């Protein structure tokens, strides 16, 4: 069974459980605070969330644009799992939002994306790259790099290697986990020269034991 089928089955079966899990551990709140404290957004941006799932990050970024009265910001999200996209699309329809577009696609097959899905000012990734086979993660990040605008920025949140993550993330969620040196090497091999590591702030600092937050620019 290939990784695409495994991920689709996992997140179709455990979609509700996944949403509950990231809420209970404080991940949703931590990500919201991370992006609200950042200065990533401005008017006239194209933003892609790779592996958007049920829309956690796009929903947060959308709220920021509304709060800060930013204009002409368009959001794009792709994911492997139809059930996740369907759930997200229901929210979009309910809110009658016109500037979010979704598509089913595989990060390892960029040609599955519409031709005009490119030149992004910001690309975010959370909870997706862990499900790419370890031997293909450099390829996946390279594909995302190619979708960035010349001065675009990539922000990745990816699971960190430790004892608990091995049993909860690797065993239960069938996801890969990476050390600091591993992910730094992967980013370099993907062609990024400007790389920095960020952290969740209090009261969500404990999550820094679980994930890497990487910011990279072309």
Q: Where are the domains of the chain?
A: 3-217
pTM of this structure = 0.90
pLDDT at 176: 83
- Residue 110 tokens read as 């960029």
pLDDT digits (tens, 9 = 90+) for 183-199: 999 999 999 989 999 99
The residue assigned the tokens 């759930």 is 87
Q: What is the CATH number of domain 3-217?
A: 3.40.50.150
As a whole number, mean pLDDT of residues 114-120 equals 97
More confident site: 5 or 111: 111
Axis crossing angle, helix 137-146 with helix 180-189, rounded to the nearest 10: 50
pLDDT digits (tens, 9 = 90+) for 56-114: 999 999 999 999 999 999 999 999 999 889 999 999 999 999 999 999 999 999 999 99
Residues 154 and 144 sit within 8 Å (Cβ to Cβ): yes
Radius of gyration over alpha carbons of the chain, in Å? 16
Pairing of strands 211-217, 148-159: antiparallel
Task: Please list the residues that pair with 159 across neighbouring strands.
Answer: 211
Pairing of strands 100-104, 74-79: parallel
pLDDT digits (tens, 9 = 90+) for 10-27: 556 555 556 666 677 788
């Amino acid at each position: 069974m290939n990784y695409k089928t495994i991920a689709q089955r996992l997140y179709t079966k455990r979609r509700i459980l996944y949403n509950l899990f990231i809420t209970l551990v404080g991940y949703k709140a931590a990500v919201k605070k991370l992006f609200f404290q950042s200065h990533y957004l401005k008017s006239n941006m194209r933003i892609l969330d790779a592996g958007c799932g049920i829309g956690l990050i796009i929903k947060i970024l959308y709220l920021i644009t509304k709060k800060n009265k930013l204009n002409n910001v368009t959001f794009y999200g792709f994911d492997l799992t139809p059930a996740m996209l369907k759930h997200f699309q229901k929210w979009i329809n309910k809110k009658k939002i016109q500037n979010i577009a979704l598509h089913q696609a595989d990060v390892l097959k960029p040609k599955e994306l519409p031709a005009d899905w490119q030149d992004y000012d910001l690309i975010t990734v959370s909870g997706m790259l862990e499900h790419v086979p370890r031997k293909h993660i450099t390829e996946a990040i390279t594909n995302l790099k190619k979708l960035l605008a010349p001065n675009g920025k990539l922000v990745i949140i990816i699971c960190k290697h430790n004892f608990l993550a091995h049993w909860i993330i690797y065993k239960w969620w069938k996801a890969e986990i990476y050390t600091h040196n591993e992910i730094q090497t992967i980013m370099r091999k993907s062609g990024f020269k400007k790389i920095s590591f960020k952290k969740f702030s209090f009261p969500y600092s404990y999550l820094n034991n679980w994930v890497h937050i990487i910011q990279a620019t072309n």
